[in-house]
Chain A
Amino acid sequence: DTGVSQDPRHKITKRGQNVTFRCDPISEHNRLYWYRQTLGQGPEFLTYFQNEAQLEKSRLLSDRFSAERPKGSFSTLEIQRTEQGDSAMYLCASSPTPGQGARDTQYFGPGTRLTVL
């Protein structure tokens, strides 16, 4: 069990460019979550997957954002036409399928810090 990994750790881009982040969850974790954390704030929920199905999207996830988890393993988060307001830390977390007591725990990756110039 190597933990949740995210790639890249840092990304600097110019306004208007597209970016894609990758998250590899803990193996055999069915649930995968994406959060966004801006400076001085707590993480905010963006979306989550149960296996390959995207079950919920926050209103924070505008049309420029899209997330996928095609084979129920790793996930990608793409931001199109980036804006300066997209600058934040993007965190990924995974968990076993909830509803079984101790399994209701999310484990976080190191995050991808996005800076939009």
Chain B
Amino acid sequence: AQSVTQLDSQVPVFEEAPVELRCNYSSSVSVYLFWYVQYPNQGLQLLLKYLSGSTLVKGINGFEAEFNKSQTSFHLRKPSVHISDTAEYFCAVSSTGGGNKLTFGTGTQLKVEL
């Protein structure tokens, strides 16, 4: 079984400040890791993913994340946020074999303020 923990339910931050959204996972098998963003009343948009290779992954809209196997973490970062980054962010994990269904965390609401 797999699980994802997003400890921060809400993260307020001022525009142009850096931000880090935390994600920790638990799994007994090898995993793929994803970050999705959801704007109000919309579906999920893929921000970035870790499948293999370099542990530092760059995604859209200036976001990046680092896979840390020893700490079972996949934290999302952005050096300078914009008002338009205000949204719900979900970390997700899937096993590398069979099914590939996603297990999501409970989400982090990023609120960017002026």
Q: Which residues of A approach B to under 8 Å, CB–CB?
A: 4, 6, 31, 33, 35, 40-45, 48, 55-56, 91, 93, 95, 98-99, 101-102, 104-111, 113
Q: Which of B37-88 contact A (CB under 8 A)?
A: 41-46, 49, 51-52
Report whether A104 and B32 are in contact in the complex, using a CB–CB cutoff of 8 Å: yes
Contacts of A56 in B (CB 8 A): 99, 101
Among residues of A, the one whose C-beta sits closest to the C-beta of B6 is: A42
Instruction: Other than A98-B100, A107-B46, A113-B41, give 9 A-B pairs with Cβ distance below 8 A.
Output: A42-B105, A45-B102, A91-B43, A93-B102, A95-B100, A102-B51, A104-B94, A104-B96, A105-B49
Contacts of B51 in A (CB 8 A): 101-102, 104
Contacts of B94 in A (CB 8 A): 104
Report whether B52 and A101 are in contact in the complex, using a CB–CB cutoff of 8 Å: yes
Contact among B45, B49, B99 for A108, CB-based, below 8 A: B45
